[in-house]
Structure 1
Amino acid sequence: MVKKFRFFSVLFLLVSPLTLFANFDFNANCLNAYKSIFELKLGNAKAYISTEKKLRPNNSIIPLLENYVDYFTLLTSESKADFDRLKGNKSARLDKISDDDKQSPYYLYAQAEINLQWALIRGRYGEYFNAAMEIKKANSLLQENAKKFPNFHLNLKGLGLINAVLGNLPDGALKSTLSTLGIKGNLQNGLAMFEKLADNLPKSSFEPFYEEVVFYYAYVLTDVAHSPSAYAKTMKYTERIADTSLLKSYLQSYVCIKNGHNDEAINILKSRPEGGVYQPFPYLEYLEGVAHLNKLDLTASVHFNKFLQINKGVNYIKDANLHLAWIALLKGDKSNYTAYASKAANGGYTYNEKDKQAQNEAVAPAPDADLLKARLLFDGGYLTKAQQILEASKAADYNTDKDKTEYNYRLGRVYDDLGKDDQALVAYQAAINQGKSLKYYFASNAALQMGKIYEKKKNPAKAKEAYNTAISMKNHEYENSIESQAKAGLRRI
Structure 2
Amino acid sequence: MIKSLRLFPIVVFLSLPISVFANFDFNANCLNAYKSIFELKLGNAKAYIATEKKLRPNNSIIPLLENYVDYFTLITSDSKAEFDRLKGNKSARLDQISDDDAKSPYCLYAQAEINLQWALIRGRYGEYFNAAMEIRKASGQLQENNKKFPNFQLNFKGLGLINAVLGNLPDGALKSTLSTFGIKGNLQNGLNMFEKLVDNLPKSSYEPFYEEVVFYYAYVLTDVAHSTSAYVKTMRYTDRIADTSLLKSYLQSYVCIKNGHNEEAINILAKKPEGGVYQPFPYLDYLEGIAHLNKLDLGASTYFNRFLQTNKGVNYIKDANLHLAWIALLKGDKTAYSAYVSKVSNNGYTYNEKDKQAQNEAAAPTPVVDLLKARLLFDGGYLTKALQTLGADNVSNYSSDKDKTEYNYRLGRIYDDLGKDDLALTAYQATINQGKNLKYYFAANAALQMGKVYEKRRNTAKAREAFNIAIAMKNHEYESSIESQAKAGLRRLSN
1:80 equivalent in alignment to 2:80: yes
Q: Is 1:156 matched up with 2:156?
A: yes
CA contact (8 A) 1:22 1:60 kept: no
Q: Alpha-carbon deviations, 1:304-345, whole Å to 9, x = none?
A: 000000000000000000000000000000000000010011
The one-letter code of the counterpart of 2:220 is: V
Is 1:449–2:431 an aligned residue pair? no
Equivalent-residue separation in structure 1 for 2:392 and 2:442 (angstroms): 21
Contact persistence 1:22–1:100 (CA under 8 A): no
Instruction: Give the unaligned 5+ runs of structure 2.
Output: 1-20
* Identical pairs, percent: 85
> Could you report, residue by residue, the CA deviation over 1:61-107 in whole angstroms, capped at 9, with x for unpaired residues?
00000000000000000000000000000000000001100000000
| Residue 89 of structure 2 is aligned to residue 92 of structure 1 | no
Partner of 1:289: 289
Q: Which structure 2 residues correspond to residues 51-450 of structure 1 after superposition, within 5 A?
A: 51-450=51-450
Q: Distance in 2 between matches of 1:413 and 1:341?
A: 26
- Paired position in structure 1 for 2:16: none
Aligned partners of 2:410, 2:116: CA distance in 1, in Å? 38
In structure 1, the residue matched to 2:466 is 466
Q: How many Å separate the matches in 2 of 1:392 and 1:170?
A: 39
Q: Is the 8 A contact 1:22 1:58 kept in 2?
A: no
1:364 deviation in Å? 1.2
Q: Output the CA distance in 1 between the equivalents of 2:187 and 2:464.
A: 19
C-alpha separation in 2, matches of 1:243 and 1:210: 15
Shift of 1:392: 1.1
For residue 241 of structure 1, what is the amino acid of its counterpart?
A: I
Q: Distance in 2 between matches of 1:392 and 1:220?
A: 39
Residue 490 of structure 1 corresponds to which residue in structure 2?
490
The separation in 2 between residues aligned to 1:409 and 1:95, in whole angstroms, is 54
Q: CA deviation at 1:115?
A: 0.1
* Cα displacement string for residues 400-449 of structure 1 (whole angstroms, at most 9, x for unaligned residues): 00000000000000000000000000000000000000000000000000
Aligned length: 473
CA distance in 2, matches of 1:428, 1:392: 19
1:15: which partner in 2?
none
| C-alpha distance in 2 between matches for 1:22 and 1:401 | 68
Q: Distance in 2 between matches of 1:157 and 1:395?
A: 49
| Matches of 2:171 and 2:41, distance apart in 1 | 36
Q: How far is 1:22 from its partner? A: 7.4
Corresponding letter in the other structure for 1:343:
K
Partners in 2 of 1:402 and 1:81 — Cα distance?
39
Q: Which 4+ runs in 1 deviate beyond 2 A? A: none
Letter in 2 for 1:426: T
What is the TM-score of this pair, normalised by structure 1? 0.96
Could you give the per-residue CA deviations for residues 462-491 of structure 1, whole angstroms, max 9, x where no partner exists? 000000000000000000000000000000
SS of aligned partner of 2:237:
helix
Deviation at 1:390, TM superposition (A): 1.1
Larger radius of gyration: 1
Listed one character per residue, the Cα deviations across residues 141-184 of structure 1 (whole Å, up to 9, x for unaligned) are 00000000000000000000000000000000000000001100
SS at the partner of 2:298?
coil
* Secondary structure, aligned partner of 1:152: coil
2:450 aligned counterpart, secondary structure: helix
Please report how far the alpha carbon of residue 116 of structure 1 lies from its aligned counterpart in structure 2 after TM superposition.
0.1
Hey, what's the Cα distance between the residues in 2 that align with 1:85 and 1:350?
21
Aligned equivalents of 1:443 and 1:285: distance in 2? Answer: 32
Q: Partners of 2:314 and 2:433 in 1: how far apart?
A: 38
Q: Which residue identity lines up with residue 368 of structure 1 in the other structure?
A: V
TM-score (norm 2): 0.95
Q: Which amino acid aligns with 1:414?
A: I
Q: Report the Cα distance in structure 2 between the residues aligned to 1:345 and 1:263, rounded to whole angstroms.
A: 31
Shift of 1:33: 0.2
Q: Which amino acid aligns with 2:158?
A: G
The aligned amino acid for 2:82 is: D
RMSD across aligned positions (CA): 0.7
What is the CA–CA distance in structure 1 between the aligned matches of 2:137 and 2:262, rounded to whole Å? Answer: 40
- SS in structure 1 of the partner of residue 240 of structure 2: coil
Distance across 2 between alignment mates of 1:53 and 1:245: 25
